[in-house]
Amino acid sequence: MLLTTGLLLAAVPMGVIGDDETPVRVIVTFKDKVDEKLVKDNGGAVNHKYTYIPAVVAELKPSEIKKLEKSDKVAYVEEDAVAYAVDDVDDAGKPSKPAPTQPDQSLPWGVDRIDADQVWPIETRSDNIGSGIDVAIVDTGIDKDHPDLDANIGTGVNFVASKGKVNNGAWDDDNGHGTHCAGIVAAEYNTIGAIGVAPGATLHAVKVLNRQGSGSYSAIIAGIEWCIGNGIEVISMSLSGPTDLQALHDECDKAQGAGIVLVAAAGNSGSSTPEYPAGYNSVISVGATSSSDARASWSNYGTSLDLVAPGVSIYSTYKGDTYATMSGTSMACPHVAGTAALVLASGRAASYGDEDGTWDAGEVQECLEKTADDLGTAGPDIYFGHGLVDAGEAATGIEG
């Protein structure tokens, strides 16, 4: 049984919205620069103006939308869509129960399988735990005071409205999904709970999904914009939706162009149809594998898939200072995001980077793909992409 947090809702094309004149929430993208006055002159109310793409979020009636679309200043008008946390999947068809609080520390099998522990100082291969790398968890937030995360949490921001208002400071996790993904990236190396792929990386909570695990594309775009403006180096997005919005595509391209490595869950529909944002070329799409290196039956696949990572029965942090075992491409995604952090912190840029010896996002992706473990196919494959991410080789250059 495949679980998501709700039904996936596709955007309705502008031409078939209907004639009831009920205001519609849309993203208006301009050809050159934003003209808020044009939107207001056509009866619209502007809710948000983006910084890195020439677009606004607005509410307009269908007749007003038709008038606005005729302007030679407007590139396109798209109805806002809904994305969901790529939720937990297990044999019982229900999320697993949190483990007892503060168990003894153990190495999760997924972190072990991708050889992340071979990068850390305890293995003497390197001196790299991802320190100094800023990773944004674009999700349901992060448990602010989780004892296995708190030393690694930097800043946070919220874009989810409550009672019609957005409190940017309310980024604490009220769902659990974001905290679980955060722990896979950077649960601390201490004496309790789990260990993340990059246990020294700095985590930033970018809350775009609500208590139920759903959120608007417009909020996700705002979250990515915040990342561009706040020095984020890796974005981990364990969320997806079926709708391909050009505004979201544009924002992902802007973020990659700004040097950010974007990673997203491929989806849990067991389908070859791309979901978004994973389906964009500027985003690393991640499918899920089991402990036997088999593709999880519910994991999406296809030509847009870039990499796979452990995603079945993954133990990590959870809301309320607890731990849980969960499955999904949501869990696979942060394994790759954490590996990207190790690569960025590795000092290996001279091997892949430009003459100045610095990484760009495309070079990080190339490194991850070239060092991935071949799971039995030659070259890119629709089920495994370029293969299983190998943190040990990617961050050290040494084959494990």
Task: Kindly indicate the confidence band of residue 90, based on its pLDDT and cuts at 50, 70 and 90.
Answer: low
Of 214, 316, 330, 346, which is the active-site residue?
A: 330
Domains 14-80 and 84-396 share a fold: no
Query: Model's pTM, two decimal places?
Result: 0.91
Closest alpha carbon to 77 in 46, 102, 56: 56
Task: Kindly indicate the confidence band of residue 17, based on its pLDDT and cuts at 50, 70 and 90.
Answer: very low
Domain 84-396: CATH architecture, name and number where available: 3-Layer(aba) Sandwich (3.40)
Of 146, 177, 249, 335, which is the active-site residue?
A: 177
Output the pLDDT for position 353: 67
Residue 62 has pLDDT above 50, yes or no: yes
Domain boundaries, the chain: 14-80, 84-396
Asked which of 265-274, 350-359, 363-372 is least confident by mean pLDDT, the reply is 350-359
Q: Given its phi and psi angles, is residue 95 left (phi above 0), alpha (psi -120 to 50 degrees) or beta?
A: beta
| Cβ contacts of 92 within 8 Å, gap of 6 or more | none
How far is 229 from 227, CA to CA, in rounded Å? 5
| Cβ contacts of 122 within 8 Å, gap of 6 or more | none
User: What tokens does 282 get?
Assistant: 């500027």
> 265 with 279: CB under 8 angstroms?
no
Output the pLDDT for position 378: 67
Give the residue-averaged pLDDT of 154-164.
94
Output the pLDDT for position 6: 32
> 187 with 198: CB under 8 angstroms?
no
Residue 14 has pLDDT above 50, yes or no: no
Higher pLDDT, 12 or 336: 336
Asked which of 101-105, 160-164, 224-228, 365-369 is least confident by mean pLDDT, the reply is 101-105
SS3 77: strand
Task: Please confirm, yes or no, whether 41 is among the known catalytic residues.
Answer: no
Beta strands in 114-255 (DSSP E): 134-139, 153-158, 161-162, 165-166, 202-207, 214-216, 234-237, 239-240
Domain 14-80: CATH architecture, name and number where available: 2-Layer Sandwich (3.30)
Output the pLDDT for position 125: 54
Task: Please confirm, yes or no, whether 127 is among the known catalytic residues.
Answer: no
Task: Please confirm, yes or no, whether 330 is among the known catalytic residues.
Answer: yes
Higher pLDDT, 17 or 244: 244
Of 88, 139, 143, 173, which is the active-site residue?
A: 139
Output the pLDDT for position 350: 77
